[in-house]
Amino acid sequence: MADTPFIIQEHQFQRIKSILARLCVECAARAVFLVDRDGQPIAFHGEIGEMDTTSFASLAAGNVAATSSMAKLIGEDVFPAVVHEGERESIFISVIGRSLLVVVFDERSTLGLVKIRTKRASHEVAALLDEVSRDSEAISASNNSFFAEITDEDIDSLFS
Amino acid sequence: MTFINYASREINCKIVYYGPGLCGKTTNLQYIYDSTAPQAKGKLISLATETDRTLFFDFMPLELGTVRGFKTRFHLYTVPGQVYYDASRKLILKGVDGVVFVADSQDERMDANIESLNNLEENLQSQGYDLSTIPYVLQLNKRDLPNVTPVNELTQELVRKGEPVFEAVATNGTGVFDTLKAVAKQVLTELRKG
């Protein structure tokens, strides 16, 4: 059986967005993403432009999954952060439980600043995601969710 | 794990194409990608070797339409089929909502199919899932080749729980969308159950 769905309610999504917006300013970052470790994008803020955010989220998760497995092979439990430094653009990924806080920054910021600011935001994000997980389980268990009302016709209509 | 966002009114699900090396997992995704309208799909990302063998995964997001006002987006992944990439396969199964097993119908690939299917069951278990309860479809690919095992023999060896079975020729699209629809439908039906 698959996991319990992760259900983000509107007020929670707005709180996530506001944490990301603040972090983006504090880090002088180009963009900030919150991504699930399984590759699902949760939210983002900043200069996205034409960037394919869905692919970006999937690749960030794949990247962390691979480095975490490498950590285990050398006897380390986990790498709590992953950094990629480019000539102009860099990426800092902080692992927060089952989610990833990804900061994209350029020469307007520094790795040190990004690390410090991300650490503080990570605690807030972790608490909020715990709340989302608890609420998701309650909503799924209550079976009162809107999804219980989905009919066979609704599903069939996707494929007609 | 299905992601539901009430703010953006989106449902995101993860489907993984599994199977032995060179069975046609990437070809399934490539056909879906080539046949889908640009507005319904994202980029097809392939982390492949120089010889086009899947190294880590292929990925494409696909939007199927709306259910009661919610956009349904399926994230399609393939795993690397070669035996020695097992660590990567385990990682890609994390958070999976539905699995397609692509079997290679050629006679000489029967053992590889069985080995890969056993590997799928083990890797699902190691991630806390059970093949008997997860949305699952079996695709018998390469039915156009001359040296294929009869369908009844393949199903006898490979069917695990009465799952939907589709004959396919992924290179020309035969059975590709039927397979996808069947697994997507099961995933959404699971979601309704809560």
Structure confidence by residue, pLDDT tens digits, A109-147: 999 999 999 999 999 999 999 999 999 988 877 765 667
Q: What is the mean pLDDT of the segment spanning B92-112?
A: 97
Task: Phi first, then psi: give them for residue A76, nearest 5 degrees.
Answer: -100, 145
Q: Which domain holds residue B60?
A: 3-193
Task: Phi first, then psi: give them for residue B46, nearest 5 degrees.
Answer: -120, 115
Q: Which of A60-64, B40-44, B149-153, B170-174 shows the lowest mean pLDDT across its residues?
A: B40-44
| Helix, coil or strand: residue B133 | coil
* Inter-chain CB proximity A147 and B134 less than 8 Å: no
Instruction: Report the CATH fold assignment for A10-141.
Output: Beta-Lactamase (3.30.450)
**Partner residue opposite B1 with nearest CB, options A6, A10, A148:** A6
Contacts of B14 in chain A (CB under 8 A): 38-40
So where are chain A's domains?
10-141
What is the percent of chain B where pLDDT is above 70?
Answer: 99
Q: Is B38 on the interface with A (CB under 8 A)?
A: no
What is the percent of chain A where pLDDT is above 70?
Answer: 96
Please write the tens of the pLDDT for every residue from A28-52.
999 999 999 989 999 999 999 989 9
Structurally, chain B folds into a number of domains equal to 1
* Inter-chain CB proximity B91 and A8 less than 8 Å: no
Q: How do B165-167 and B54-67 pair as beta strands?
A: unpaired
Question: Which is nearest to B61 in space by CA: B1, B8, B15?
Answer: B15
pLDDT at A144: 57
User: Is B184 a residue whose pLDDT tops 60?
Assistant: yes
Neighbours of B164 (CB within 10 A): 18
Q: What string of H, E and C letters represents the secondary structure of A66-128?
A: HHHHHHHHCCCCCCCEEEEECCCCEEEEEEECCEEEEEEECCCCCHHHHHHHHHHHHHHHHHH
Q: Is B191 on the interface with A (CB under 8 A)?
A: yes
B19 with B116: CB under 8 angstroms? yes
User: What CA–CA distances, in Å, run from A33 to A112, A150, B74, B154?
Assistant: 18, 31, 20, 45
Please give the mean pLDDT across all residues of chain B.
Answer: 94
Spatial separation of the C-alpha atoms in residues B119 and B52, rounded to whole Å: 23
* Inter-chain CB proximity B3 and A42 less than 8 Å: yes
pLDDT at A2: 58
pLDDT at B31: 97
User: Is B194 a residue whose pLDDT tops 80?
Assistant: no
Q: What is the mean pLDDT of the segment spanning B140-161?
A: 97
Tell me which residues of chain A, numbers 7 to 46, contact chain B at a CB-CB cutoff of 8 Å: 7-10, 13-14, 36-40, 42
* Inter-chain CB proximity A159 and B6 less than 8 Å: no
Q: Is B194 on the interface with A (CB under 8 A)?
A: yes
- Residue B139 corresponds to which tokens in the numbers above? 């695709």
CATH number for position B118? 3.40.50.300
- Residue B74 corresponds to which tokens in the numbers above? 């399926």
pLDDT at A143: 61
Please give the mean pLDDT across all residues of chain A.
Answer: 91
Please write the tens of the pLDDT for every residue from B21-70.
999 999 999 999 999 999 998 889 999 888 888 888 999 999 999 988 89
pLDDT at A45: 97
